[in-house]
Amino acid sequence: MENHRVIIVGGGFGGLNAAESLKRGAVDVTLIDRRNFHLFQPLLYQVATGGLSPSNIAVPLRSIVRHQKNCRVLMSEVVGFDLTNRALKLTDGELSYDSLIIATGAQTGYFGHNEWADLAPGLKSLEDALDIRRRILSIFEVAEREEDPVRRSALLTIVVVGGGPTGVELAGTLAEITRHTLRSDFRRCQPSDARILLVDAGPRILAAFPEDLSAEAERKLKEKHVDVRVNAGVVRLDDKTVELRSGDKTETIFTETILWAAGVEASPLGKVLMDAAGSSVGRGGRVPVTAELHLTEYPEVFVIGDLALALDQAGKPLPGVAPVAIQQGKYAAKMIMARLTNGTLPPFKYHDYGNMATIGRSAAVAQLGKWKFRGRIAWLMWLFIHLMQIVRFENRVLVLIQWAWNYITFNRSARLITDVDRRRADSNHQPAN
Amino acid sequence: MENHRVIIVGGGFGGLNAAESLKRGAVDVTLIDRRNFHLFQPLLYQVATGGLSPSNIAVPLRSIVRHQKNCRVLMSEVVGFDLTNRALKLTDGELSYDSLIIATGAQTGYFGHNEWADLAPGLKSLEDALDIRRRILSIFEVAEREEDPVRRSALLTIVVVGGGPTGVELAGTLAEITRHTLRSDFRRCQPSDARILLVDAGPRILAAFPEDLSAEAERKLKEKHVDVRVNAGVVRLDDKTVELRSGDKTETIFTETILWAAGVEASPLGKVLMDAAGSSVGRGGRVPVTAELHLTEYPEVFVIGDLALALDQAGKPLPGVAPVAIQQGKYAAKMIMARLTNGTLPPFKYHDYGNMATIGRSAAVAQLGKWKFRGRIAWLMWLFIHLMQIVRFENRVLVLIQWAWNYITFNRSARLITDVDRRRADSNHQPAN
């Protein structure tokens, strides 16, 4: 008899944890992702700011599951569902399943302003991070050649939109780069003249944290010369300006670099799935699921992580964070194994261990249950937890060494402006012409 | 009084050594490159094969010269020369010089078949290396999904054209990856079934080496299951086949991956320069220079490195290798400083310390003066010399650790398929749809 076939779509935190939890099950697992690697998204801002290399935070899916004999990896793309016949349509063929776990996550969302995507890149993929790295490093290069002080000042203004953990990490790190790393690099332009703005539409940054930790983060950012603007919504932007509105006041900021950390929306595969199920997506394009994380009509189809609209015991949507995805991945795997012996599990329950955000070198805020931490101790906790989480990565020691090195020397050696689009034009040996 | 203004175009081995040799001179140095980093080209094949990350072998030019107060870096592109008025035309402005050093190197050359460039990428830039890495890793992904054994066999055939050091390094490393690194990664396709061909039009590989070392390299490659074809010229290629001719026999190889390490041609800036000088370029687009490495009519304009057509004492062109560029860069700098006190230098003399090429793990060949080395000792020499050369890179320790780690574990953790062109499409969190 053939084993029960489980297909997992998406190799992020949710999908990968589901695959690993099925290790000892009498199942055949197929993990499908259109990329060949798992990305450790919490450190993506380090790539965007030149502190780590892509390979420090991404690891080939195949090497993660290479010794899990019941799991194969397929680099492919899902384009449709035949839920009645339990089959997936891929760009190159079809696949049948007995159980399905969909974990394709979320992408940057612009609240209906998709035309802003090119002007204000988000930070969700490695390519995003390299694009942001290129943009940030390039403004200092252009500023070094610019004679007009007004344009130079606009060039040296960076606006980070969104005061969540990603926005705070980006703004804090950018402030350090301009004041320390790049200090002696330029002759005409002074990177320390750069102005970093962190803009949030809400009344405070880090809204998911207790109020006093938000205030602490804001204080720390200001100490690093970040200009924090709360209650300030972006109402318009182009390649030279961004317009902020606070109440009935509007202000125009002259800038050529806007980074978008303000919102996410679910992967578009959610809508494809809901169309196939004859239903519709919920808020933010997320897929409504039962308390057992599956579709109401199709109990063999689980949706987990940022793509899922799962509710907690109080009926509130669970947040789109890694711990939710991880716990849901494990739950879905266990449920599939329980059903193999005609068992079941109680509804999914999210264990919230807390929340943390780093603001830069030696500064972070953390809330773990009832405890709150700030300053160096919070930063060390943040570092420890993130390093432990990438324990599955064989190069964790190298990341640690790189990190220690960067910390001691203010070094950011991955300050490379690379751009595949220019490949042909640049195939010159050390081209300068 | 203003200092003597030296402009150096190109931040490769030649330009960078020129800049550093001018450290103590009473000169103002401007180093222009269209990239923001120096690239350690000898290890580019390690990036192409996933062993090292771009930032391991590239270092921002600004951080190299940050403490050299008389040197500024400009990221820009030279588009023309006004030799009479001693001025450079940049894409964004003009710059005057008193002395000029041009060191823009070489690019991949296709012997008049530029239409092959997209089908058979060369290995001269970081973007080239990432492109090759993506192509190589992708063929195994496609082969894993391919049901037709004929197509699978074509997919798993990689043809490396050119038996110089780069071709030998690529072929040797690819053979190791397929036999070791990827061994347990796939379920249906067997990476060890991959066929690596190394093709050279001449009678032996490593033609610049003594004959017995060529033979040793060929033997080592065959031991690693590389199919070495000498006296085999590429006469035609498309996206499915490459046609080889040996004598009057032709053979068609079915392959979708051709890597081009067969030739270089000088940077096109050489022709722009010669047009401005009312003269013409020499063989391979190189710029003929005097025994003092400058243009005949313009003694203040030096041309060095791969771009220069400089002759040795016997009247033969110097090879396009890093040691020539390094020595010429130092010479040009010293000559400029000598002239400041109305002095001069004897003609440039190249000190040839030898030649080395690595064939893979623990295998290399080296010829140093009269001595020849092979096997593990040659490999350790190769490793030592290359690590010493990147001593200027602040992250040399990290490269060494990465290398040791890779060596012990057969690891190649930078096996990421990344591609900026797909950025928008892939902005999904761990996208699989």
Q: Please give the ipTM for the structure prediction.
A: 0.77
B430 and A269 within 8 Å at the Cβ level: the answer is: no
Q: What is the pLDDT of residue B394?
A: 55
CA distance linking residue B18 with residue B329, whole number of Å: 4
Evaluate if residue A238 carries a pLDDT over 80. yes
| CB nearest to A107's CB, from B12, B105, B427 | B427
Closest CA to A263 of A404, A107, A153: A107
Q: What is the pLDDT of residue B429?
A: 31
| CB nearest to A398's CB, from B144, B306, B405 | B405
B106 and A429 within 8 Å at the Cβ level: the answer is: yes
Q: What is the pLDDT of residue A424?
A: 35
- Of A221-235, A368-382, B201-215, B277-291, the range with the lowest mean pLDDT is A368-382
Chain B positions in Cβ-Cβ contact with residue A62 (cut-off 8 Å): 182, 185-186
A417 and B130 within 8 Å at the Cβ level: the answer is: no
B430 and A10 within 8 Å at the Cβ level: the answer is: yes
Name the closest residue on chain A to residue B31, using Cα atoms. Answer: A432
Residue range B143-196, pLDDT digits in tens: 988 889 999 999 999 999 999 999 999 999 999 888 888 888 888 888 888 999
CA distance linking residue A270 with residue A102, whole number of Å: 9
Chain A positions in Cβ-Cβ contact with residue B430 (cut-off 8 Å): 10-13, 15, 33, 35, 38-39, 103-105
Name the closest residue on chain A to residue B41, using Cα atoms. Answer: A429
> CA triplet B384, B182, B357: central angle to 5 degrees?
30
Average pLDDT value for residue range B226-244: 96
Average pLDDT value for residue range B11-18: 96
Number of H helices, E strands in chain A: 12, 24
Catalytically active residues of A, by annotation: 169
Chain B positions in Cβ-Cβ contact with residue A35 (cut-off 8 Å): 417, 426, 430-432
Q: Is the pTM of this model over 0.80?
A: yes
CA distance linking residue B338 with residue B195, whole number of Å: 56
Structure tokens at B176: 């190791």
A268 and B36 within 8 Å at the Cβ level: the answer is: no
Q: What is the pLDDT of residue A280?
A: 96
| CB nearest to A53's CB, from B11, B55, B117 | B55
Burial class (CB in 10 A: 0-12, 13-18, 19+), A431: buried
Half-sphere exposure of A69 (CA within 13 A, CB side): 3
Total Cβ atoms within 10 A of residue A68: 16
Residue A430's pLDDT band (boundaries 50, 70, 90)? very low
B416 and A36 within 8 Å at the Cβ level: the answer is: yes
Phi and psi at B186, nearest 5°, equal -115, 160
Total Cβ atoms within 10 A of residue A376: 12
Q: What is the pLDDT of residue A397?
A: 66
Chain B positions in Cβ-Cβ contact with residue A177 (cut-off 8 Å): none
| CB nearest to A128's CB, from B60, B185, B423 | B423
Residue range B325-381, pLDDT digits in tens: 999 999 999 999 999 999 999 999 999 888 889 998 888 999 988 899 998 889 888
Chain A positions in Cβ-Cβ contact with residue B144 (cut-off 8 Å): 74-75
A131 and B420 within 8 Å at the Cβ level: the answer is: yes
Given the residues B77, B94, B144, B169, the one annotated as active site: B169
Average pLDDT value for residue range B100-111: 96
